Structure 1
Amino acid sequence: MKKVKIGGVPEHFNLPWYLGLKNGEYKDAGINLRWEDYFGGTGEMNKALRNGDIDMAVILTEGIITDIIAGNKSKIVQTFIQTPLIWGIHVAEQSDFESVKDLKGTKAAISRYGSGSHLMAYVNAKKNDWDLESDLDFEVIKNLDGAVEGLTDGAADYFMWEKFTTKPLVDNGTFKRIGNCPSPWPCFVIAVREEFLENNREEVKTILEIVNRTTLDFKNIPSIDRMIANRYKQEIEDVQEWLSLTEWSQSLIDEATINKVQDQLLALEIIPNTLDYKDLVEEL
């Protein structure tokens, strides 16, 4: 049985993977798929791909593109979530900040440099016509727990994270959400280390076929909203809203979208250059 290591954030987007594992679908296909939760998000997964700690990752589109350009020997093999990620912009509940414009020139908490929380801070700054040099400052906090600590003790002023994941922290008075910033592209893709892909192409195709069968019918699973609410400690109304806004994909990300992401990252001076489509993706 072929062992394959895959990483992703421990969030509701990735429940289809858990369901396939729980039902033994990968084992039935001769694949010992081992899932690893990455609480540090995209930056931590990029490091794991580079080090060979994982073979595959369900990862933010902008984060993996940035890191492939920076030398990560991986390829995008499929879009996983077609719709944008809605990033909530959060401050500490006791903070005096009341709107996003109040955050100009303050310090953003980020999980790590090159992470989604880092890159989207630039997107948000550009959206609000801030100066990317003087109006952005960062404090590395590693993960969501670090953000709670950092915002509460004043080490950082605001934190951007997927708004439904942080909703319980807004509800319990830890955070105050003062705005949203949707990513301007499909939010999650599936990436594979080039070396692993070269030697295990058929296994990767099988893994994608299995998860795609689940995502095609995901919203029709009986009581899926309650399952998500219970597993991820969410309110049922929030889960239902999230499901209405989220669409999975079973297709490879197209060239126009890849170019759009790269053009925006280049304009924000996050990447030094762009790559050809074929250097970022692999069609299976």
Structure 2
Amino acid sequence: MKQVNIGGVPEHFNLAWYLTLKNGEYKDKDIDLRWHDYYGGTGAMCKALRNKDIDIAVILTEGIIKDIIAGNPSKIVQTFVQSPLIWGIHVAANSNYNTIEDIKGTKAAISRYGSGSHLMAYINAENNNWNLEKDLDFEVIKNLEGAVAGLTKGIADYFLWEKFTTKPLVDDGTFRSIGNCPSPWPCFVIAVREDFIENEKETLRTILNIINNTTIDFKHIPSIDKTIANRYEQQLEDVQEWLSLTEWSQDIIDEDTILKVQKELLNLNIIPEIVDYDQLVYKL
């Protein structure tokens, strides 16, 4: 049996992977697919791909594009979630900040430099016409748990994270939400180490076929809203709203999207240059 390691965030977006693993669908095809939760998000997964801790990552589009350009020997093989990620902008519940304008020039909590929370702080700043040199400051907090501690203790002032993942922390009075910042592109892609693509094309095709067969009908799985609400400790109405906004994909990411992301990252000085589509994407 072929062992394959895959990583992703422990969030509702990735429930389809859990369901296919629970059903033994990969083992039926002689693949021992092992899922690894990455609480540190994109930055932690980029490191894991580089270190060969994982073969495949379900990862934020902008984060993996940045890291491949920076030398990560991986390629994007398809889009996983077509819809944008809705990033909630959060402050501590007892904070004096009430609007996005209030947090201008204050300190953003980020999981890592180069992470989604870091890149989206730039997007939020640009959306609000802030000075990217003067109005952005960062505090590395590693993960959601670190953000709770950082904001509560006043080490950092605000934090961008996926809106529905953080909603329980808003509901219980840990955070307050002061706005949203949707990513300007499809949020999650599947990225694979180049050496794995080279040596295991058929294994990879099989894995993608299995997951794509599940995501194509994901919203129609009986009581899927209740399953998500229970598993991720979320309110049913929040899950139903999230499902209505989320579209999975079974297709390769297109050239226009890749160029759009790169132009944005270049504009924000996050990447040094725009590279060719083929340097970032592999068509299976």
Q: TM-score, normalised by structure 2?
A: 1.00
2:144 match:
144
Cα deviation digits, residues 190-218 of structure 1 (max 9, x gap): 00000111100110111000000000110
Q: How many residues align?
A: 284
Q: What are the within-5 Å matches in structure 2 for residues 233-272 of structure 1?
A: 233-272=233-272
3-state SS of paired residue (2:26): helix
3-state SS of paired residue (1:13): helix
**Within the alignment, does 1:109 sit opposite 2:106 as a pair?**
no
- Between the aligned partners of 1:114 and 1:188, the Cα distance in structure 2 is 15
Q: What are the within-5 Å matches in structure 2 for residues 177-192 of structure 1?
A: 177-192=177-192
Which amino acid in 2 is paired with 1:83?
S
1:229 match:
229
What percentage of aligned pairs have identical amino acids?
Answer: 75
Cα deviation digits, residues 24-58 of structure 1 (max 9, x gap): 00000110000000000000000000000000000
Which amino acid in 1 is paired with 2:30?
G
List alignment gaps of at least 5 residues for structure 1.
none
- Between the aligned partners of 2:258 and 2:137, the Cα distance in structure 1 is 28
- Between the aligned partners of 2:201 and 2:115, the Cα distance in structure 1 is 28
Q: What are the within-5 Å matches in structure 2 for residues 149-228 of structure 1?
A: 149-228=149-228
- Name the Cα RMSD after superposition: 0.3
Structure 1 position 274, deviation (Å): 1.1
Q: What are the within-5 Å matches in structure 2 for residues 93-132 of structure 1?
A: 93-132=93-132
3-state SS of paired residue (1:49): helix
1:44 match:
44
List alignment gaps of at least 5 residues for structure 2.
none
Cα deviation digits, residues 66-97 of structure 1 (max 9, x gap): 00000000000000000000000000000000
- Between the aligned partners of 1:249 and 1:37, the Cα distance in structure 2 is 21
- Between the aligned partners of 1:57 and 1:142, the Cα distance in structure 2 is 18
Runs of 4+ in 1 over 2 A off after TM superposition: none
- Between the aligned partners of 2:5 and 2:274, the Cα distance in structure 1 is 29
- Between the aligned partners of 1:29 and 1:245, the Cα distance in structure 2 is 33
Q: TM-score, normalised by structure 1?
A: 1.00
